[in-house]
Amino acid sequence: MSGRGSNLQALLDAAADPAFPAEIALVISNISGAYALERAAKAGVPTEIIPHKQYASRKEFDAAVDRALRAAGVEIVCLAGFMRLLTTGFVEGWNGRMLNIHPSLLPSFKGLHTHERALEAGVKLHGCTVHLVTPELDDGPIVVQAAVPVLAGDDADALAARVLEQEHRAYPLALRLLVEGKVAVDGARATVDAQGAGSLISPLP
């Protein structure tokens, strides 16, 4: 975690339900002042700060993160607002067990400034994606996506707020599906055993 941690809060809230199949074992941030750390502390979840600037290379930093995760008995890693590129070795060590959430409907708008770019492109649907992490940026098998309409008069902030609401629903769902063994990966694709059918159209007729 590097930021305010609203997606962390969604995961903490989900995990507070005894029926949820996972618990949050540790929250790691590379920034000491990240508000996500306060959220974790309030929920009684252990935290650890691993400042990346104290390490000579990305490989050494990632090794420190890996040690902390394994020492805490972590089985699945959830990235959220963690603004660091991870080394191939780290990613491969958690292959099939590391999730990331991205504020666009991947594979569209990888990288930063997704809402501005969506508005510039004139898309009618925008949203978020929870995916399994691979060494490539914002890539990997897609587990859950949620879409919102792009409305007339939207600016980046308004669109981002609407997408964020869906992020808070999508991330706990994706974690639940992965923990329950309902995600099967075949190459670059993930097949999800879940209920749901229908379609989205924007604008409405």
Sequence ranges of the domains in the chain: 1-94, 102-192
| Rounded Cα distance, 131 and 201, in Å | 23
Is the CB of residue 70 less than 8 Å from the CB of residue 94?
no
Q: What is the mean pLDDT of residues 74-96?
A: 95
Instruction: Express each pLDDT in 35-70 by its tens digit.
Output: 999 999 999 999 999 999 999 999 999 999 999 999
The per-residue pLDDT for 197 is: 62
Active-site residues, by number, are 102
- The yes-or-no verdict on residue 4 having pLDDT over 80 is no
Percentage of the chain lying above the pLDDT 90 cut:
90
Percentage of the chain lying above the pLDDT 70 cut:
98
The per-residue pLDDT for 3 is: 56
- The yes-or-no verdict on residue 2 having pLDDT over 80 is no
Fold exhibited by the domain 102-192:
Rossmann fold (3.40.50)
Sign of CA dihedral 121, 133, 68, 64: negative
- The yes-or-no verdict on residue 107 having pLDDT over 70 is yes
pTM: 0.95
Relative orientation angle of helices 156-179 and 114-121, to the nearest 10 degrees: 110
Domains 1-94 and 102-192 in one fold = yes
- The yes-or-no verdict on residue 1 having pLDDT over 60 is no
Q: What is the mean pLDDT of residues 75-101?
A: 96
**Regarding beta strands 47-49 and 98-102, do their DSSP bridges make them parallel or antiparallel, or are they unpaired?**
unpaired
For the chain, what is the mean pLDDT? 95
Instruction: Express each pLDDT in 138-189 by its tens digit.
Output: 999 999 999 999 999 999 999 999 999 999 999 999 999 999 999 999 999 9
Q: What angle do CA 62, 65, 69 make, to 5 degrees?
A: 135
CATH 3.40.50.170 corresponds to the domain 1-94: yes
**Regarding beta strands 98-102 and 77-79, do their DSSP bridges make them parallel or antiparallel, or are they unpaired?**
parallel
